[in-house]
């Protein structure tokens, strides 16, 4: 069922992406006293992106905790708390800084269930944000989802809309395995319809954001918005693009991807992250293996340039796929040139 179909069955209102995340945290903290928050600036400041605004006032400093600027220490504390039965939501300000806690994430949280023979649980959510925007330069603008995608034991979520952000975060908090929940810095102020009543979205279920018959555009996070904008312009030319949002990259809804490819027979995959070693390449390999006979031509991948992100805004824009890049790729594919 698509997001449109799901929300049509419920009373909705239009709210911002960051407000949807705030609602998810608030609802889950009210539901389960084991849920608590920790991170840099999440308490007094309400988070740098205002996702945790008001939560300190309602739940107090024992459940909404500011941490020192020491990712290794507070991520490690979150892993330990999760192992002992709590459900921490740990925020890292920029995904770039997750590098400082990779041992805790990759060698401890991701492997604990395996090394305990399935007896141990690590119900940890690591919230962070990534991607370009606002000229924050090379150390604050990376798209590092492929790092986490590569590590067995981690689940990886990258929602593109307020509806998805709320529903997926609620499910992530209830999950018994560690979840990396990556938000995009350009999405926090975007708006969308969100049901008034409580809901959740199962991890591993993709969503078709726009239905089409001529080409499948697979994108996630902020690239979904660019794919949708491109699809609307392509429709004016008589090209109907299907915009496919995995929402959850681990687990990945392979069956739904293949079904879309079989229908359109053309595929463009768009990722903001650099091309080399990216998730788009892995998705392309899955399609090649399971739906090769349905393809009308080669799969095209649009991705970030293999370069650190520059500070200059014009150069930053040139480093990642833009709406026009998607349009041109689809035109080439449909025309066969």
* pLDDT tens sequence across 132-149: 988 999 999 999 999 999
CA distance 43 to 219: 33
Catalytic residue among 71, 175, 272, 300: 71
- pTM score, whole prediction: 0.95
Mean pLDDT of the chain: 96
Does residue 140 carry a catalytic annotation?
A: yes
CA distance 269 to 56: 41
Catalytic residue among 140, 145, 175, 272: 140
Domain boundaries, the chain: 3-195, 207-335
Q: Do 3-195 and 207-335 agree at the fold level?
A: yes
Fold of the domain built from segment(s) 3-195: Rossmann fold (3.40.50)
pLDDT in tens, 76-134: 999 999 999 999 999 999 999 999 999 999 999 999 999 999 999 999 999 999 999 88
Architecture of the domain made up of 207-335: 3-Layer(aba) Sandwich (3.40)
Q: Is 90 helix (H, G, I), strand (E, B) or coil?
A: strand
CA distance 264 to 291: 11
Does residue 184 carry a catalytic annotation?
A: no
pLDDT band of residue 1 (cuts 50, 70, 90) is very low
């Amino acid at each position: 069922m698509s997001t449109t179909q799901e929300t049509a069955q419920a009373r909705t209102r239009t709210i911002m992406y960051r407000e949807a995340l705030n609602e998810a945290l608030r609802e889950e903290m009210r539901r389960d006293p084991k849920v608590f928050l920790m991170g840099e600036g999440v308490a007094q400041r309400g988070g740098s992106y205002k996702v945790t605004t008001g939560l300190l006032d309602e739940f107090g400093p024992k459940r909404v905790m500011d941490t020192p600027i020491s990712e290794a220490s507070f991520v490690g504390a979150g892993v330990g708390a999760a192992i002992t039965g709590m459900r921490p939501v740990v925020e890292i300000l920029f995904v770039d800084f997750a590098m400082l806690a990779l041992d805790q994430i990759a060698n401890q949280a991701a492997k604990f269930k395996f090394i305990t023979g399935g007896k141990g649980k690590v119900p940890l959510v690591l919230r962070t944000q990534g991607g370009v925007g606002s000229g924050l330069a090379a150390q604050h603008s990376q798209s590092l989802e492929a790092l986490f995608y590569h590590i067995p034991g981690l689940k990886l979520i990258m929602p593109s809309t307020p509806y998805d952000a709320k529903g997926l975060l609620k499910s992530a908090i209830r999950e018994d395995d560690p979840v990396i929940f990556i938000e995009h810095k350009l999405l926090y102020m975007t708006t969308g319809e969100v049901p008034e009543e409580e809901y959740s979205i199962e991890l591993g279920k993709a969503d078709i954001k726009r239905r089409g018959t001529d080409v499948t555009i697979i994108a996630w996070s902020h690239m979904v918005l660019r794919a949708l904008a491109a699809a609307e312009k392509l429709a004016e030319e008589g090209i109907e693009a299907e915009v496919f949002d995995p929402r959850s990259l681990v687990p990945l809804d392979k069956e739904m991807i293949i079904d879309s490819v079989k229908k359109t027979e053309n595929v463009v995959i768009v990722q903001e992250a650099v091309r080399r070693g990216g998730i788009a390449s892995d998705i392309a390999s899955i399609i090649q293996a399971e739906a090769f006979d349905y393809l009308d031509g080669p799969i095209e991948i649009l991705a970030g340039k293999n370069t650190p992100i520059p500070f200059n805004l014009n150069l930053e824009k040139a480093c990642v796929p833009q709406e026009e890049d998607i349009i041109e790729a689809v035109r080439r594919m449909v025309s066969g040139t």
